[in-house]
Amino acid sequence: MITYPEFQAMLAKQLRLTAASEVQPTSRIQKDLGADSLDILQLLMKLEDNYGYSIPDEELARFETVADVLAYLRIPLEP
């Protein structure tokens, strides 16, 4: 299972952000972090390949904020 700090770092790298701390639970993935649909798809593919998550394509539209993704994947904010 991926941890929240690992998820932050992965998303920040995918979106070419200057710091992982820019990724917060309340951040809107597209509007605040500047992700496009390809960025989201690539991130979810990495989560599937590296951590074994299975995320149906129809779920992508439901992920508006980082918290939405964390809740779906059951990633706790704290260890």
Give 40-66 pLDDT, tens digit per residue: 889 889 999 999 998 887 888 888 999
Q: Which residues are designated catalytic?
A: 36
Q: What is the DSSP letter of 18?
A: S
* Domains of the chain from N-terminus onward: 4-73 (1.10.1200.10)
What is this structure's pTM?
A: 0.88
Q: Which residues contact 35 (CB under 8 A, 6 or more apart)?
A: 14, 15, 29, 43
Give 13-29 pLDDT, tens digit per residue: 999 999 999 999 999 99
